[in-house]
Structure formats: structure tokens, C-alpha cells
Chain A
Amino acid sequence: MDILQVFKDWLAPSKENTGNTAKNRLKSMLVIDRSNVSPELMNDIKDDIIKVYQKYFELNDEDMEVKFDNNQNTVILTTSISVLRVKRSIDTTDAKDVNDYKRNNHNRPKR
């Protein structure tokens, strides 16, 4: 080991605690592993959630994330979606539910 590095570490230990990062990443990973949710089903869930949001907002397609998290033994479904703008008028006449909306928006890019 480089002796200089040892002194550097001693004088200014790194603030980042990657052990904790690993633990937290593992915990949320295992929520999905243990639930036996297939990646396909997970994708369907994501798609449906996004469709609901799209009804009301214009979204940034590049910047959205839907994932399971684990917070002290509670499973949390987190969605992080960046909103470009709120739609002014929501067309509810022919999009009464998500299924209608799906049919009307089949051109939306697939994820």
C-alpha cells in the first residue's frame, strides 16, 4: 500500500459510505427478486403508471423512473417523472379510463 495514501486517508477520510450504498441498493433489489415479479410485468406496471400521468401532464420521456424501494421493511413504489408542463384541457370525453387512453395513444414511444 502507498504510505502517502495511508496518511491522506488518515487526515481526510472519504465521506462517502459505499457500504451503506451497497446495503440500500441490495435491499431494494431483493424486494423485486423476492416478489418474483418478472421484468415484463414490471414494464407493464411502469407503462400503465406513465399512461395515467400522461393524461394530465406532458412528460419528459427521457427522464422517468419507476421502481420498488425498501424503507425499513416497507415496500415503496417510487415514481420519478419529470413534468414538462401541465395539460390545459384534459380531454375526458373520449378517454374516460386508462384503457381508452391506451387505445388513443398507441403512437406513444414504447419503453
Chain B
Amino acid sequence: MGEVIVVTSGKGGVGKTTCTASLGTGFALMGKRTVVVDADIGLRNLDVVMGLENRIVYDLVDVAEGHCRLKQALVKDKRFENLYLLPAAQTRDKTAITPEQMTEIAQQLAEEFDYVFIDCPAGIEGGFKNAIAGADRAIVVTNPEMSSVRDADRIIGLLESEGKANPLLIINRLRPHMVNKGDMMTVEDICDILAIKLIGIIPDDEYVIVATNKGEPPVLNDDKLVGKAYRNIVRRLMGEDIEFLNLDAPSGLFGKLRRALGM
């Protein structure tokens, strides 16, 4: 049986989908049979971040309603041996599926795959409850700003009340130079507040938009710190003990000059 991991955050726009795409692709690169599931029915985007939007035939709701078999709805990522996508329906809404159906689908996928990643919609209503229903583990993504951390705290409480204890934390979009200036909460601050295990810190990088433009999850880029950060998370999730990247911005006059010039 594979492991079902839901990626959630409460607040929208913190990078859940990019995270799901990158972790899924990262596990496939490590030779694990992996499927990424878009549970954001009506607002699907995981297909776009994965660059698979033109290959969708059936979707999650078709599977739930029995219009097709689960295997027919899976889109194979031709670039990688072991990677599949189960897309969400775009023309339906969150009520098109129940937590029981979602649990059933997640279980079937876990029989076929080593890792099942579920991209959870923003919010705490039906869509969230569906997405977490079949999950063994949860990853909470947050940004180092107040509203996002507050929502993450709420989500952690809800996960616990649904029996998904000990979620893991990813801090996304950290800006080291703002932290150094004292204008952004530190990783320690956030960990202190949320009190769950940290599994990754991802620096803020314009490259994420470029990667999405191309339909290539950022984990694929070896040269970028974001790519490295994602690959480290994959390895940590697989049980390896990897140190967190040093994201410190270059300090001093020359560092500041270099940054100002975009070097």
C-alpha cells in the first residue's frame, strides 16, 4: 500500500499547487510510482502547473460518478517514467463528490502507487473535507506573513479534529533579506507559533512563475535554490536526514549592491 499525502493551507495562493506538483514530480524522479490528484473541483490548476492541461480526457468527478474507470482518468506524464495526474473537473463544484467517494478513490490509488499527493482547495468547507478524507498524512503550506500563518493554525486544528494528527510544515516564499532586516517573521517564529514539524523552507523566487509558464514544476531545475529546496523536502519525506538550506541573503554593502543589480 502506498502513502496518501494531502497538501493543504487554509489560505489560497500560498503555493499548494506548485508544492504538490513539485513533490509529486520529485518522488517520481526518485523512482517512486507517484500520482498527483487535483481535489480543487471547479478551479483546477494542478494540470497547468504540471504542463498536462491538453491531455485531460476524464476527471475525478467522472471516476466518482462511474463514467469511466479510474485508470482511464489518469494522465501519464510522458516526460517521467512514474508520474501520473488525476485531474479535477472544471465545470462542476465541490459538492460533486463526497468524502466517502474521495476516500475510496484514494485507497484504490494507494494500491497502484507508492505515493499519492492530493492538492487541497483553499478554505475549510466541503472541498477541504473531501481532500483530507482519504489522506494518511498532511502537509501544511504557509507563507511567512500573518494571514497565512493564522489560517495554517486553523487548518492544523481542523486536521487534528479530523484525526490527522502531526501534520508537517512547509514554509514557502521566504525572503531572507526581509528576515535579515527584521521585516519578516523568521522560520523559528513560525515554528514556535504553529508547533508542528518543519519539513521544508522554500525561498521566494520569480523562477516559480517562469516554471509555471513552461509547465515544468520548479523541482526540475537543478540550478535554482527553489528546485534544490523541493528536492530536499522529497528526501526528508523519504526519511533522509537533510540539513536545511542556508538561504541567507548576501549581507554587507557588496551583497546589497549585487541584490540591487539583480545579480
- The answer to whether A and B assemble together is yes
**Which residues of B have CB within 8 Å of A33?**
150, 153-154
Residues of the B chain whose Cβ atoms lie less than 8 Å from the Cβ of A3: 257, 260
Structural contact, B182 and A23, CB atoms closer than 8 A: no
**B186/A6 in contact, CB under 8 A:** no
Judge whether A22 and B185 touch: CB under 8 Å: yes
Judge whether A34 and B157 touch: CB under 8 Å: yes
Chain A residues near B157 (CB, 8 Å)? 34
Quote the shortest CB–CB distance from B177 to chain A (angstroms).
Answer: 10
| Cβ distance B10 to chain A, nearest Cβ, rounded Å | 12
Cβ contact of B185, chosen from A14, A19, A29, cutoff 8 A = A19
CB distance from B11 to the nearest CB of A (A): 13
Contact, CB under 8 Å: A26 / B182: no
The B interface is mostly helix, strand or loop, or mixed, namely helix
Q: Is A18 an interface residue (CB 8 A)?
A: yes
- Which chain A residues (17-65) contact chain B, with CB distance < 8 Å? 17-20, 22-23, 25-27, 29-30, 33-34
Decide if A12 is an interface residue (CB 8 Å cutoff): no
Q: Which residues of B contact A13 (CB under 8 A)?
A: 181
Near A by CB (< 8 A), chain B positions 163-198 give 178-179, 181-186, 189, 193
B185 touches A23 (CB 8 A): yes
Interface residues of A (CB under 8 A from B): 1, 3, 6, 9-10, 13-14, 16-20, 22-23, 25-27, 29-30, 33-34
The 3 closest A-B pairs by CB, nearest first: A17-B182, A6-B260, A23-B189
